[in-house]
Structures are given as C-alpha cells and as structure tokens.
Structure 1
Amino acid sequence: MFTPVETTIGAFLLHQATSILLHNNGTILGASEYMRRLVSKPTIGVAAFFAGMTASFPLLRLVLPELLTKYPPSPSTSGQALITVAMGILVGWGTKAAHGCTSGHMLCGLSRLSGRSALAVAIFFSVALVTHHLVHPSLMTSVCTSDLPCYTATYPTQATTNLLVALAAVTITAGRLIPRIAARLSKVTKNAEDKSDGTSLARHATELFAGLEFGLGLHITQMSNPAKVAAFLSFPRLEVWDPSMLLVIAFGILPSLFENLMKGFNKSPRFNKKYELGKKTFADTDWKLVLGAVAFGIGWGMSGTCPGPAVLRSVAQPAWGVLWMGGFWLSGVFLTDEPEGGMCG
C-alpha cells in the first residue's frame, strides 16, 4: 500500500546519503561500483560504507523493528538458485555496461542534470516496466493484498511517526557533524594544503554515515522490498499500483538538485581536492550504455532488486546473497572496461 509518511522521510535520508558523500568527499554514491570495489579494490572507506549499511539493521530493530524489510524466502530449489544467480549476472553486467544503477544514475545523476544518466534512467525504467508486465502478468504483489486499491494511503501511528522523525533527525545531524569533528581531529580542513588524504578519518566517517543513511532510507521507503518495487512497476493498472516511488523521486532527487545548483562544483568538496565526477556527456553515449541499461531494466523488472537493496538482502539472507552476489561479481568476466572516473552515474 501507499506509504507517504515513511517514504517521504526515507527518501530524504537517501538524499542526505548522496549529498554528504558528494559534497564532503567529492564522490558519487554508486552502489554497484561500491560492490565491485569491495572485491577489486577494497579500502577502509568501502568497508566503512558497507558497515554503515549493515548498521541500519540493528538500529531499526532497536527503534522501529516494524520498518525492517520483510523479504521473500531464500531459494529452496536448484531452479530458484539458478534464477537468482542469473538475476545477479544480468544486473551486474547491465550496471557495469551502463556505468550505474538506480543510485548512481537516478539519485545522483539526475540531481546533477546528467544527460547520460537521464537516458539510462529512461531506458531501464521503461524496460523494467514492460518486463514486469510480461513476466508477472497478474501484477499482484504481496504489498497489495487488501480489497482497497493499492494506491490507497496508509499512515503510521503518531508514536511511530514521532520515533521515525527523531531517528531521521538524529542520523542526519550526526552525519553532518561527526565528519567535521573528525576533520578537526585528523587536521583535514578546508584550508589544508592537501585535502586528498583518502585515508582521513573525516572521509571514512562520511562514508560510514552515507552507508547508514542509505541503508535506513532503503528500509524506511521499502525500496529494498522487491514486492514494493514491483507494485510501482504495475502502473498503469491502478488497483495494484503503489505510487510510493514517486515520493522517492520527489524527496530523494529534488533536494539534491537544489543543493547542487546552489553549491555548484567549481569549489572543491570539504575533504577532497576536487569532485571525482565523470567527464563524459550525453554526446558520448555508446551502445554499451544503452544495452547495459536494457539488461539492468530486465533484471530489475523481473526481480525487483537492484544493487543497493541486494546488499541489505544479503545481510538478512546470506544464502540468497551468496547466489545473487556471486552472479553479480561473475558478470565482470564478460565486461572488463571500468567506468570512467571509477564511480557510477
């Protein structure tokens, strides 16, 4: 069902995650690229990001356990296991060829007015929508089980709303302040002669909180729930359509867009010499990006899972994670070119 309160607050957490990583460290929150770096180029910063995502589980379990994502059962047959591996390969190859996924292209790319990201999002969203309709023709999902239309809004209790607002406020405040405190401790300030220290305490603190806010945002919006994503892709059949993802676009992307327009990228980020952004434009679009976006759209439309949510599900269901992540990393065998700038979007 449509969850406007939870989705709005969770989407703002997603905005904060991408914002602090971009304007503190100068890097893009590309979940698929972070996952590849975990294997190909592991660093303390990468570990900090995934530690933050993992920490979203005990934090929510302590404060608002009802908002933890409820996943379908892990594969129990060899056929289901093979399909899970295949979905990992499809999403892995697609996101690598397209140089990004829903986080790198949609959350980060659109908010930077990237033409390449706009094209990639248009392709993989359209393909996912068509794929979902073809593969799941009933369009029924586990989040739309009542007699009411799935777009009917449901609201949390006042107590839950208060806790949710408090959790978001504390997390966002800590994510903004603690890296600055860490900067003072490690003597990495905006006026320092060398701000490129990739092992600085401030940069690691930023990645830790970016991961935490990203994980919390995925849980709270329920974009980590494959059924919730599938319900959005059921459009235009309104009785089974959950419009929650529209609020993710509104409150996850638009605040970042306004912030990027106000701050710009002419000055250096807080803890780095410069912004590490790709230099390719819409004119540099090639067949790999288009085919990659199509492949990712097919995998996303079939399974409702993209790289960020896959990390969370792997923590909750390690058996599923071994299969899906194994396929994701195996996809690198079929495409060896690294995305420009080393990050998605």
Structure 2
Amino acid sequence: MGDGRVRFAGQVPLARRTLLERPGRFAGAVVAVALAVTLMGLITGLWGGFVAQSNTYVDNTGGSLYIVSPGAQRLTSDARIPRSAVETARETPGVRWAFPARSFFAILDMHDQKVAVTVVGYEPDGRGGPWDLAEGRTPVADDEAVVDEVLAAQHGLETGDRIDVAGAGVRVVGVSRGSFSSMTAFVFLPHSATDAMLRDPASTTFVIVGTDVPESVAPLLREQGLAVVDGDEVNATETRFATRAFGRPLGLMALLAFTTGVLVVGLTSYGAVREQHRLMGVVAALGGGRARLYRFAIAHVAATTLAGAACGAVLFLVARTAVSWWRPQFPVVLTGREIGLLVAATVVMALLAGVFPVHGVGRTDPAEAFRDTT
C-alpha cells in the first residue's frame, strides 16, 4: 500500500453486471451483430459462388491451353476460328490431345418464359462436354442434348422431353450436375448439331488442348499464327465478366453490414459505460485505476461481439441452406480464405467498436462517486 492506492481483494465483475442489468439491450446488440455477420457471410459466399461458377467450365474440361479467336475475351463469344486449328494443334509436338468446342448464348421458350442458356457443342468422344451426369447419358445424335440440373428442376424437364434450341428440336437424354455458369445454365449438344444450327461446319469457337508442357507448347502454337491462352487467363477473364455487374452492389452491402455491426456494438457498450458512470467513479476513487476501467469496456465489447459472432455463424448456416433450397443457381461458397476474411472483419469490427466505450472510460471522473444525483 505504499503507493497510496487501495488493493482489491477481488475483482468486481463490472462487465457482467452491466450486461445482466439490461439483458434486453444486450440481446438486441447480439442480434444486430449476428445479422451483420450473417449478411457479410452470405455476401462473401455469394461472391465466392459467382467466382466458382464462372470458372466451372474450364476447371472441368481438363485443358491446359485454349486456342481462341484473336481478340476474343471469353470462351462464350460469337467469335469463330477455323476448324483446321484442331489438326494444327494435334500435330504440334507436346500436345497429347485437342478437341473443338463451340459455345454461344441462346434463348429457350420454357413455359411462356424466356430462359437464357449457354449452348456448348462438343465432340461426344472428346472433351468439353458434361463432366458429371446426374441421370441419363451423353448425347450421340444431333437431336439429343444434356441440360443442367438447375434448369431441369426449375422447368420440370426430364429425360425424354423435347425442347427447342436455336430453332432446332432436341430431346433431353441426360441431366448434368454442377454445370451452371454465373447466370446461365449449360446445354450440351454434339458439335455437329451446333454446326447445323449456325450453318457453319468449318468453324468452331475454341479448341481445348491437353498437354503436360503448356509452357513449351504455347509458343509453338503461337508461331503457327494461333491465339493461345491458358486456363488461369481464361478463368481470370470469366471472373471479371461474371462479377462486374454484382461486385459493387455486393461490396456496398458488405460495407453497410460491417458498419452497422461496428455502430451497434460500439454505441451499446458506450451506453453501458455512461450508465455506470457513478459506479466507475467509485472504482476510480478507490484506486482502481484506468486500466481496470478499460478492461471493463473491452470486456463489454468482446462479450457482445463473441456472442453475436457465434449466433451469426449458426444463422449463416441456416440462411445458406435456405438460399440453396430457394435459389440453387446461387451457391454460397466459403473457402478457407473467405472464412479468414470474415474472422478478420469481425475482429476489426470489435476493435473499432471499442473506440466508443474506451472514449467514455477515458472521461470518467472519480468525483462522480460523490456528486448528489437528486
């Protein structure tokens, strides 16, 4: 006691006291944080889903390189290259296989609705077609097609049904899984069927090239006048196109959710600090010190944030399940990186929210304990 300060035999649980005194306010703050965490999780997951969908075709074709039309920015474009590029690629040293693929957008009339799809023409014995069949088989004849399972479920399509694609009637012989890209479903047809639809059998949209040494093969193909890109380049371009329309709105929504969480936690904790100003004045007058008061403010923020984050995690799982059931074309995908970002955002939320109550603690006057409150 030589420093003149009172030593406390025990610690007064100030944070717990203020939380339990006003359980309604604490519960409201926890709910607000949970909603903020849930919204940030859904937005981040939707973003991850858009990216995964935009890359789904390239990730499942097994191609190392893609021969495209010069200047073409995407595989799904109206650009065309000569079909002879396939043989050129196959004759290039280091190439194990090469197959043509044609892609274009089409509008289907489905139960009085206009539905946009991505039509993919491929060689039935090659690459570029459906990679995971949920039911049925792959198409062989020109009047046969495989449709994505989301498209099939939304419009009640079953194997054996007939649909009109680009003016040609085709029969559904299979349903593919995981073939929904960004905002459109894939419809797979034999390449020869798309040749007839576009009346252009001498062209294709791109060539998928398989090789174990893409860094050596790409220059050789370019020397023959072919435009070549690798899978990473294609995915990066597809991601930019897929997220361009949604990036800013989703980012703004995430920022609003984050800001809401900061303000709710911060102002709730600040209010608790101000309500307990006399009690805190007593603690300060008895020599409790600023450090103890700061611990109270930080504990209040931490308790609110942790409880809200835990509830938010549970609510996110429920919301993700609901979104997957209601709109299966919008997957909510969280990788380890996205989860790390969410955890970091929650920590930053708590740190920023702590500014409010810490500011209130800093203004605590020991004289508050002796002022007449009447």
TM-score w.r.t. length of structure 2 = 0.23
Which protein is richer in helix relative to its size? 1
Higher strand share: 2
Kindly indicate whether structure 1 or structure 2 has the higher relative contact order, using CA contacts under 8 Å at least 6 residues apart: 1
